[in-house]
Structure 1
Amino acid sequence: MSELYITRMHELTIVIYAASVLLYFIDFLNSNRKANQTAFWLLAFVWGLQTVFLFFYMIETGRFPVLSLFEGLYFYAWVLITLSLIINSLLKVDFIVFFTNILGFIIMAIHTFAPGYFASDVMSERLVSELLLIHITMAILSYGAFSLSFVCSLLYFVQYDLLKRKKWGERLWRISDLSKLEQVSYLLNAVGVPMLVLSLILGLRWAWIKVPGMEWYDLKIIGSFVVLAFYSIYLYLRVARGFHGKTLALWNTASFLIVLINFFLFGKLSSFHFWYM
C-alpha cells in the first residue's frame, strides 16, 4: 500500500475510534443502548481496519509486527480492541469496554502520530501537522458544545426568574421549559467532555513531538485540565449526586467562565500556544 494511502487510513481510523469512544461515554452517562450499539459497530470497523493493516504489514515484512516499539504499540492497541469486542459480545460488561477503549485510543494516538514512523520525512511532518489540526478542531468543537450549554443555562435563569415573578406572556412561552433546558445543557456537556479529553490526548502527543523541553506547567495546559475538571464535576453532580436546577446551572456558568479565561487569557500567556492563537 502507498505511504499516502496508509497515512489517510490511519487518520480515518483515529477519527472513527474517537467517535466510538464518544458514543460509549454517552452510553456510560445515560445508559443509551442505541449509542452503545453504534459505538460497538464503529469499534468493530476500527478493528477491521487494524486487522487489514496487520495482515498487509506481515506480507510486506514477512514477519509478525512486534520487533519494535511502534509495532508493539500497534499490536497492543489491536489486542485491546479485540478483547473489548469479545467482552462486549459475550459478557455484556459495557463499562469495561468504555474504559478499555480510552486506553486503546491513547495507544493508537501515540502509534499513529509517532515521529519517524513513516519512511518519508515529508510524510511524517505532514502527519504531525495534521495531528495539530485534529487537536485544535476537537478542542474548538468541545468549546462550542460548552458555549451552547452555557446559553441554555442563561435561558434557564431567565425562565426561572419569569416563573418566580409570575410574568406570564409570550416571552415565557417562547423559552423552553426548565427541564428541557437543563437536559439539553447536560447533553451538550456530555458530548463536550469526551471531545475535550480526546483533544488533550492528541495535543499532549503533538507537544511531546514538536516542543522538546516544553514546560508541562504551561498555563494553557493547566487551564485546559481545569476546564476538564470543572465540567467533569458538573457531570458527576448531575449523574452521581442527582443535582438539578439552579445549582447545576450556576456551576455550568462558572465552568464556562473558566473556558473563556483559558481560551482568551491563558492562550496568550502560553509559552507555545501563541503559535496558532
Structure 2
Amino acid sequence: MNNEMLAQYANYALASAALVVTVAMLCYALYLAQAVPVRERADADAKVPATVGGPAADGDAASDHAAGTAVETPVRARKAAGIAGSLTWLAAGLLLLSAVMRGVAVERFPLGNLFEFSIAGGFFALATFSVASVRRDLRWLGVFVTAFVTLLLMVASTAWYVEADELVPSLQSYWLGIHVTVATLSVGVFTVGAIVSGLYLLSDREVGGERFWRKLPPAQSLEKFSYSLHIIGFPLWSFTLIAGAIWAREAWGAYWTWDPKEVWTFVIWTVYAAYLHARATKNTARRTANWIAVAGFACIIINYTVVNFYFIGMHSYAQ
C-alpha cells in the first residue's frame, strides 16, 4: 500500500467518523426526548425537582433518582443512550485511525495544519467525554458534545481541508509531537468544559423553559463538573505555552517574538487563569467565573480561525 492510498483511506476513515458521530448525536437526542417525560411524572408525584447525574449507571438497569426514589428510565431511552455511547467510542477510534494513517502517509506527525489539528481536537473532545462517562452518567451531555464535533468535522472537511504533504522546515522537529499534541488535548478538554459552562449559565437562568432543564443535572452540579474539567485543561495549556517558547527558541532563535499566535496563546492562558482565580475567590459569583471560562474558549476559537487566516506571522503556514 503506497502513501497516496494511505492518505485516501485516512479520508475514508474521517468520513466514516463524521457519519458515526452524527448518528450518535441523534441517539443521544432520542435519549433526552424519551427520558424526560418519566422524570416529569416522578416530579409531580414527589413534588421535588428531579436530579440527573452521579455515578455511571449500569447499562442493563439504568435509573435516575428523584427525592431518593428510583425512577426507571424507559427501555427505548436506555438503548438509545447505550448505542450512542458505543458509537461515540467508535467515532473517536475512527478519528484516531484517520490521523494515524495520514501521518504514516506523509511520514510525520499529522498536526501540521488547521485541518489536521481539527481532526485531533475532535478526537480529544470525544475521548474526554467518553473517558469521563466511565465514572459519571453523562448521557445528558452526549448530544451537545457530539453536535459540536459533528460541526467541527464538517467545517474541517470542507473549508479547511488540505492534501497530505510534507512540513515546512521549521515544523520538522520532535517538538511538533509534544507541543501540538498537548495543545490539542487541552483544547479537547476545554471544549467539553465550555459546553458544560454554557449549559450552567443557561440553566441558572432557565432559558428555554423549565421543562427542558429537567433533563439535565442541577445548576450546581453542572458548575462543579465544569470546574473539574478546566482544572485539568489549564496545566496542559500552560505546558503548551512553555513548550511553544522552547520550540521557538530552537526554530527561530528567540523564546518570544510577539508572533500573533504566541500572543493569543498567552491571552488564552491569561483568561483561563482569571477564571480559576475568580472560581477560587469567595466574593466572585459562580456565574461571573463561568462567563470568563466561556470567554477563554471564545479566545481559542479566535486563535485557530481568525488569527490563523487573517494575521500574518511566523505561524502562517499552520492554515
Q: Identify the structure with the greater helix proportion.
A: 1
